[in-house]
Amino acid sequence: MSAVVTSPTVFRSTVTILRRHPGLLFGLVVITAMVILAVAAPWLHTVDPTYIRPRMRLKPPSAAFWFGTDSTGRDLWSRIAYGSRVSLIVGASVAAISLVIGLVIGMISGVVRKLDGIIMRIMDGVMAIPAILLAIMVVSLFGASLHTVIIAITLPEIPRVVRLTRSVVLTVRGEAYVEAAISMGTPTPILMMRHILPNILAPVIVQATFTASAAILIEASLSFLGIGTPSEIPSWGNIMADGRNYFQMAPQLIMIPGFLVALTVLAVNILGDSLRDLLDPRFARSVGDAQ
């Protein structure tokens, strides 16, 4: 009964939120489209993206090859469709892993003051190494694979999440409700889970979206430089790297994947911006405190 009553209102409030935050709508639409492309790639008029046709090199777009073919005669559309998987997997897993690890370290740092100094100095040390160089080092040490690329991009992102988490934990720790919980004898783990975590999550989630877009960009750059995803796996960066020498004959080899990287990164960033507005407690409270 209640579900019947609430679902239209939930739907209506969702529509209202999307109308107020057009950025959110844009971000969600683009990302959903990318996810559909990645998941449904085999059924979207694609062929094996690694199949080489020596006689069909650098063909212009046609009915058979929607975006044309590359320098070894592979179908560009299929490569781009399958390549979206790499970008999305890298973006999502880097964001998720760095979020979880950073959140845990950051909360420990913010709550257990004895460890704070040590943890933060280590994080400063990690941050002092340029992200791209660290990634190159990790990939050359452990060999190129999707996993190493993800690890290589995640490592330098962790300190950012740690710093952000720690700073919001410190703010929330000073709040009277946390002190009230301490004076009620709340054990530290419960204090962290019940009182601190729910109140720091919003800014950290917003940070995670920016991490995701940065990861997509870094993966593409690494692949373009030839040190990222192994070249047999189609990724947007690899496609651009292959197309580099044929730019004048077949500009679509760089233009299309380049445009898609830019579009995805833009969509994720705008999504993050809108989430920040939406999750801002000042906004949420102003609604509640209307009278």
Partner 1 sequence: MTDHVLSIDHLTVAVTGASEPKTVVTDVSLSVGRQEIVCVVGESGSGKSVTSFSVMGILSPGLAPVAGSIKLLGEELIGASPARMRELRGQRMAMIFQEPMTALNPVMTVGEQIAEIFRYHRPEMSAAQIQQRVQSLAEDVHLPDPTNIVHRYPHQLSGGQRQRIMIAMALALEPALLIADEPTTALDVTTQKQILELVRDLVARQGIGVLFITHDFGVVAEIADRVVVMRAGHVVESGSARDVLTSPRQAYTRALIDAVPGSKLPAAREIADDVLLRVDNLSKTYGSFGLFGRARNANPALQNASLSLRKGEILGIVGESGSGKSTLARCISRLQTPTSGDIWLGGINIAQMQERKLRRHRKAIQVVFQDPNRSLNPRLRIGDALVEGARNFGVDAREASQRSRRLLDLVGMDDSALDRFPHQFSGGQRQRICIARALASEPDILVADEAVSALDVSVQAQVLELLKDLRERLGLAIIFITHDLRVAGQLCDRLVVMQSGKIVEQGPTGSLFAAPRQAYTRELLAAAPGREFLASAQKA
- Pick the stretch among 53-61, 64-72, 190-198, 211-219 that binds partner 1 (CB under 8 A): 190-198
189 in contact with partner 1 (CB under 8 A) = no
177 binds partner 1 (CB under 8 A): yes
Interface with partner 1 by CB under 8 A: which range of 42-50, 67-75, 193-201, 237-245? 193-201
| CB of residue 120 to partner 1, shortest distance in Å | 10
| Rounded Cα gap, residues 38 and 50, in angstroms | 16
Nearest residue (CB) to partner 1, 21 versus 195: 195
Stretch that binds partner 1, among 28-36, 37-45, 148-156, 176-184 (CB under 8 A): 176-184
Q: Residue 161 CB, nearest distance to partner 1 (Å)?
A: 21
Using the minimum distance from each CB to partner 1, give the nearer residue, 115 or 182: 182
Minimum CB separation from partner 1 for residue 118, in Å? 11
**Nearest C-alpha neighbor of 90 from the set 276, 233, 255, 258:** 233
What is the Cα–Cα distance from 158 to 142, expressed in whole angstroms? 20
Contact 251, 67 (CB under 8 A): no
Q: Report how far apart, in Å, the C-alpha atoms of 190 and of each of 109, 111, 162, 172 are.
A: 16, 12, 20, 15
Handedness of CA 166, 168, 171, 174 (dihedral sign): negative
CA distances from 5 to 1, 8, 10, 93, 288 (A): 7, 7, 9, 38, 22
- Contact residue for partner 1 among 117, 130, 143, 251 (CB under 8 A): 117
Report how far residue 41's alpha carbon sits from residue 46's, in angstroms, rounded to the nearest whole number: 7
Interaction between residue 2 and partner 1 (CB under 8 A):
no
CB-nearer residue toward partner 1: 133 or 182: 182
Residues 97-116 contacting partner 1, CB under 8 A = none
Q: In a 3-state reduction of DSSP, which class is residue 27?
A: helix
**Spatial separation of the C-alpha atoms in residues 36 and 277, rounded to whole Å:** 27
Place of tokens 């959110």: 24
219 close to 87: Cβ distance less than 8 angstroms: yes
Stretch that binds partner 1, among 95-103, 178-186, 204-212, 236-244 (CB under 8 A): 178-186
**Minimum CB distance to partner 1 smaller for 141 or for 290:** 290
x-or-dash string of contact with partner 1, 124-143, rule CB under 8 A: --------------------
Residues lying near partner 1 in the complex (CB under 8 A) are found at 117, 175-187, 194-195, 198-199, 281, 284-285, 288-289, 291
